[in-house]
Amino acid sequence: MLKTEILKKLRSTEGYVSGQEICDKFGVSRTAVWKAVNSLRDDGFVIDSVTNKGYQLQSGVEILTKSEIESRISSKYLGRNLCCYKEIDSTNEELKRLFNANNSLPNGTTAVTDHQTMGKGRRGRVWETPEGVNIAMSFLIKPEFEPGKASMLTLLAAIAVVKATEEVAGLECQIKWPNDVVINGKKYCGILTEMSSEPDFIHYVIVGIGINANTESFPEDIAKTATSVYLEKGEKISRAKLVAAILKYFEQYYERFEEALDMSPFMEEYNCLLAGYGQEVRVLDPNGEYTGISKGINNQGELLVEKEDRTLTEVYAGEVSVRGIYGYV
């Protein structure tokens, strides 16, 4: 797409790029360039234009648009069919609607929005995505493995978020099994994986990721347990860069998962990132709470917890939450 290409060119050039150079490079008319630049401006980019010099992108703009994300994507198929929205109820719900309208929706189709009006957590909980600061993104994949393995994709997504955050923001994160990524003990990212399947066949899996990127403050009910890159680092980051990095890393990990079909290639890495590993945790099981020592995940992605009587329980993510003994992590 011309807009995306122009954006890449402007970003990679210090100083001005002449209109003629853009025309020659992409084989398009001056009018097409002018229209594409204006459309980028409509998206919110600040682009200077000076007669006889050309165009220059002003740095420091932080925008979550299709062209901004596309110009940074390096994954092979994940995010290549990209749908971006200024505002939507929920990116998970949007992908479901897109799939229901078109069963041949490409594998890896991704939805990203700046603002979710009805963001979902697990089991009917609410996920906050206020305007202009956070990331809400979901991708749809069509795995060929059995439905019982899909819950492990949440764990892969958590590793991808950790890697991407380290790369883009230089921040160290931990994973709170199964679906949170935390920084300094506070929730920075939540993951919601949903699936449509028959007993032995997956129609699709949607992995939804919510990230507190540039959030300056949180509603009172979550202020004590939530954090953002901005609050941890004191700097705002490019959300588009983070989206592209998450897609890149998830695709890489997922390729390896498709070969192994379990967590064995990632267990060591995962357990190193696991909050509370080797420590006492409280398992909030609807059939009765208990405490024990977290022994990390097994190759099915279940959390192993050793109870006081030395028995080892395999905790399945479904109905259970795990807490640190003194608080959220």
165 binds ligand BT5 per the rule CB under 6 A: no
- Closest CB 281 distance from ligand BT5, rounded Å: 16
Whole-number Å distance between alpha carbons of 116 and 327: 28
Among 3, 122, 282, 295, binds ligand BT5 (CB under 6 A): 122
Chain residue at closest Cβ approach to ligand BT5: 190
138 binds ligand BT5 per the rule CB under 6 A: yes
Burial of residue 201 (CB within 10 Å: 0-12, 13-18, 19+) is exposed
Among 23, 28, 98, 222, binds ligand BT5 (CB under 6 A): 222
- If DSSP codes are grouped into helix, strand and coil, which group holds residue 29? coil
Whole-number Å distance between alpha carbons of 216 and 229: 9
120 binds ligand BT5 per the rule CB under 6 A: yes
54 binds ligand BT5 per the rule CB under 6 A: no
Task: Please report, for the chain, how many H helices and E strands are present, in that order.
Answer: 10, 14
210 binds ligand BT5 per the rule CB under 6 A: yes
307 binds ligand BT5 per the rule CB under 6 A: no
Q: For ligand BT5, give the closer residue by CB, 180 or 302.
A: 180
Give the Cβ contact number of residue 316 at 10 Å: 14
State the binding string over 58-97 for ligand BT5 (x if CB under 6 A, else -). Answer: --------------------------------xxx-----
Q: Which two tokens stand for residue 228?
A: 């953002």
Q: For ligand BT5, give the closer residue by CB, 136 or 168.
A: 136
Q: Which two tokens stand for residue 132?
A: 């202009």
Tell me the one-letter amino acid at 208: G
- Closest CB 178 distance from ligand BT5, rounded Å: 9
Among 191, 243, 297, 315, binds ligand BT5 (CB under 6 A): 191
Residue 118 half-sphere exposure toward CB, CA atoms < 13 A: 7
The bridge status of strand 110-113 relative to strand 82-85 is parallel
Tell me the one-letter amino acid at 50: V
Q: What does each C-alpha distance from 268 to 4, 28, 277 come to in angstroms?
A: 39, 51, 12
- Closest CB 127 distance from ligand BT5, rounded Å: 4
Number of residues that bind ligand BT5 (CB under 6 A): 27
Contacting positions for ligand BT5 (CB under 6 A): 90-92, 116, 119-122, 125-128, 136-138, 179-180, 187, 190-192, 208-210, 212, 222, 226
